[in-house]
Chains A and B, each alone.
Chain A
């Protein structure tokens, strides 16, 4: 079955430190890949997406993600975290146009001053 795994349920980083959130997907074919962010009390908002082409994708608020086919991964990174980045982050995939979006379990990010 198709699945998405975010192995880290909760991560705490210091403000100004770098961040990497991990995401792995199970299916062999190259999927469409997404990262969404959910701030407290709000719905999910798209951070970035990957369809094809350049495997390093730039997103909102200084985030980037890299697709690595050999590792079935789509990790999210940010070089310097800001306190406002504290939120829950969801990786998601779908495998064909109009297909269902499958979400990972989410990673909650806390930022220490």
Chain B
């Protein structure tokens, strides 16, 4: 069964640095998403992406965040000037945009900002 993959599984960075989280969505999917989960809390929507542009973003997704689909397979989340409060698990998801719109989630990247 096809699956969403994410790298790295764990990223440690110093406050103020830039990080790039990478995702490979399911190959025939057209809609891509990032979510985050602060330890012990619920999963929260960050951004959705379709047709090479952002469809919707939450208030969490401030101007330090950006997303990109640099080629036909990868989908990246970049965080500039990282803050301690960016520490969280980041999940990538993709869907084929059908009526059911089932989203398939990757295993997550745990980001730790020191």
**A joins B in a complex:** no
Binding site for B on A (CB under 8 A): none
